[in-house]
Amino acid sequence: MPVALSTATITALEDKATMMRIHSVRSTNAAGSGHPTTCASAAEIMSALFFSVMRYDPKKPADRRNDNFILSKGHAAPVLYAAWCEAGYIRPADLLNLRKIDSDLEGHPPVTLPFVDVATGSLGQGLSVGLGMALAARLDGTPQRTYVLMGDGEIAEGSVWESVEVASHEGVDNLCATVDVNRLGQSSPTMLEHDMKTHKARWTAFGWNAIVVDGHDVAALVAAYAEAAATKGKPTVILAKTLKGKGLPGENQNGYHGKPVASGEVEQVLKTLEGKLSGSKKPWKPNLPAKGAKAKASRPKKMSAPPYALGDLVATRRAFGQALGALAKSDPRVVAVDADVKNSTYTEDLEKVDSKRFFQGYIAEQNMVGVAMGLGCRGKIPFASTFACFLTRAADFLRMAAISRTNVNLVGTHAGISIGEDGPSQMGLEDLAMTSTLPNYTVFYPSEAMSAWRAIEAVAAIDGPCYVRTSRPNTPTLYGPDEVFGPGIAKVVKKSKKDQVTVVGAGVTLFEALKAHDELAKQGIAIRVVDLFSIRPVDKKTLVACARATGGRVVTVEDHYPVGGVGDAVLGALAEEGNIKLKKLAVREIARSGQPDELLEKYGISAKHIIKAVKSLI
């Protein structure tokens, strides 16, 4: 759809671009660091988007009716701040606080700013998050469009192409990506440099509507975005050919990345840029979002009761799926993203409730987590699940979810050597360490069906990233429907006044501990058995009380590598206690295929090894 802009409008947009260059130079100069050259290449793109194309209220940057914008190339943060300054939300003087410890205008965009939904700067993640936002708008039937600005260097990331192929498959036409093709990376030119023909061929081959434009021509940019909005059935990418450092010293030259303009050149650079301003006083009128376009708030109903009786043999992964289905019936905000394992993770239980709220992410775990993050940013309660071992592929997305404080619930199934014959490539043995080390995460490890159901119920109500670890084998149900589970709650499963050692397990190892309890009882040795359940936060009060009651003697046993799991969580809780003697049983080498019971025995976490550890302490 052709867009005819008046000469005055084009001049006003060019002035906005020039002002954003000026702000970027001033702020990075005041900070003594930053990336003004990548800001300069994107100035016209930002001007077209913020001052002609996007529908948003500059006085209410967090309004859910606004169009969504993600600066995936987060090192260009100064130009984002400059755009909001030109929109009237940020004062020009505040831009000079860039990168200061007491300022929210950080080196890369933080979520403490109301116009930032997710922290960016770890390149290759913005498009996945944007896809999640676009899917949320489509699900809600609201008119928001999502715009993601990337650099040409970051599209070397495989996660970008994961999101590209899924967005095309989903036909998400309310998603528009822009690639700032400025030819230069941090240390050298990008792979394709300014080969716009090949850039276009790649995106077109993935099923996108690809438009090549001069990225410094505001009229051409506005026209391209109008074409994107009119394109139905497929997403659009604007491939904007630009010059890195446009208008600054070192324009289109390598070696200027991440360097502010030299102090001796700043005055002249600013004078030159200011000389390009037209002097026009034409006021800018924001393109406000449509009234009433916000998704209707939903009212959750009470979740149905867990269907388990004491002794029922149910795998915790199965209980996860059943709980997820029940949760979806009670709360329309609940959605699921799966990595082509829905018949093993049992997320198909949600799909049966409402197929529109089930998103097939295929075997692309980075994008799966990014999409879940985007859904969470738009008011959904997302669950992203796959085998625990494959979540490691998305480790950096998990890290950025923590930094973004994103409401996303991750579920790893088939954890540990207890999966059996599939062998070590399928055994998640590091997932607790990966998630427990991250700030803002809640981490649960249920051992049986009732606690797994309650774990899913609990994380749905927690605002922030969560991880639930589940297992493949069937285990007997230990708890009744009135048992309370949640953050920082462990359960003492076996207890007597004669207990000599506390044994802490979780998942399948809890049942090995119970076997050891019964065998040791025959030998006249009493032990206390604790189901840890909450890895983070850990139930320090219960663990300290149990350790004191058993003379400081503690054994931990886990279907996980020895670092960062159950044992380390218990050690952390007991760190300030004196006179603690702790033995940590864990998988200490690369495992192999075998029957689950054989593997627990071979790798030192069976009842037999627990008994040996208990006796060594007493």
- In tens, the pLDDT along 93-107 reads 999 999 999 999 999
CA distance 466 to 398: 10
Measured in degrees and rounded to the nearest 5, phi and psi for residue 331 equal: -140, 110
Residues 530 and 416 in one domain: no
pLDDT at 299: 72
The gap between the terminal CA atoms of the chain, to the nearest Å, is 81
pLDDT in tens, 349-407: 999 999 999 999 999 999 999 999 999 999 999 999 999 999 999 999 999 999 999 99
Cis-peptide into 537, omega within 30 deg: yes
- Within a domain: 49: yes
Strand ranges in 524-615 using DSSP code E only, listed in sequence order: 527-531, 534-536, 553-557, 581-585
CA distance 328 to 355: 11
Please state, in angstroms and as integers, the Cα–Cα distance from residue 343 to each residue in 139, 324, 340, 351, 417, following that order. Answer: 23, 14, 8, 11, 20
- Return the axis-axis angle of helices 607-617 and 508-522, rounded to nearest 10°: 60
Identify the domain boundary among 242, 274, 306.
274
Residues 166 and 217 in one domain: yes
pLDDT at 301: 86
CA distance 131 to 153: 20
The CA-based diameter of the chain, rounded to the nearest angstrom, is 93
DSSP-assigned beta bridge partners for residue 215: none
Burial 344-379 (b: 16+ CB within 10 A, else e): bbbbbbbbebbeebbbbbeebbbbbbbbbbbbbbbe
Residues 152 and 74 in one domain: yes
CA distance 397 to 270: 38
pTM of the model: 0.96
Identify the domain boundary among 441, 476, 511.
476
Burial 217-232 (b: 16+ CB within 10 A, else e): bbbbbbbbbebbeebe
Q: Could you confirm whether 365 is annotated as catalytic? A: yes
- Within a domain: 596: yes
pLDDT at 4: 83
3-state secondary structure 353-418: HCHHHEEECCCCHHHHHHHHHHHHHCCCEEEEEEEHHHHHHHHHHHHHHHHCCCCCEEEEECECHH
Identify the domain boundary among 476, 504, 534.
476
- Within a domain: 301: no
Residues 90 and 237 in one domain: yes
Number of folded domains that form the chain: 3
Residues 511 and 382 in one domain: no
- Within a domain: 290: no
CA dihedral 556, 560, 563, 568 (to 10 degrees): -30
* CB-based contacts of 129, cutoff 8 Å, min separation 6: 70, 117, 118, 148, 370, 371, 373, 374, 377
Residues 454 and 526 in one domain: no
3-state secondary structure 64-94: CCCCEEEECCHHHHHHHHHHHHHCCCCCHHH
- Within a domain: 305: no
Q: Are 25 and 248 in contact (CB under 8 A)?
A: yes
CA distance 90 to 26: 15
Residues 225 and 119 in one domain: yes
Q: What is the CATH number of the domain that holds 595?
A: 3.40.50.920
Looking at 44, 157, 351, 365, which residue is catalytic? 365
Residues 198 and 320 in one domain: no
CA dihedral 324, 327, 329, 330 (to 10 degrees): 180
Indicate the SS3 state at residue 2: coil
Spell out, as residue ranges, where the chain has pLDDT lower than 50: 1
Residues 391 and 269 in one domain: no
Q: What is the CATH number of the domain that holds 201?
A: 3.40.50.970
Residues 270 and 326 in one domain: no
Range(s) of the domain holding residue 326:
314-476
CA distance 110 to 378: 17
CA distance 231 to 203: 15
Residues 472 and 568 in one domain: no
- Within a domain: 354: yes
pLDDT at 2: 58
Task: Give the residue from 23, 91, 16 showing the smallest Cα distance to 285.
Answer: 16
Strand 501-505 with 553-557, pairing: parallel
Residues 428 and 540 in one domain: no
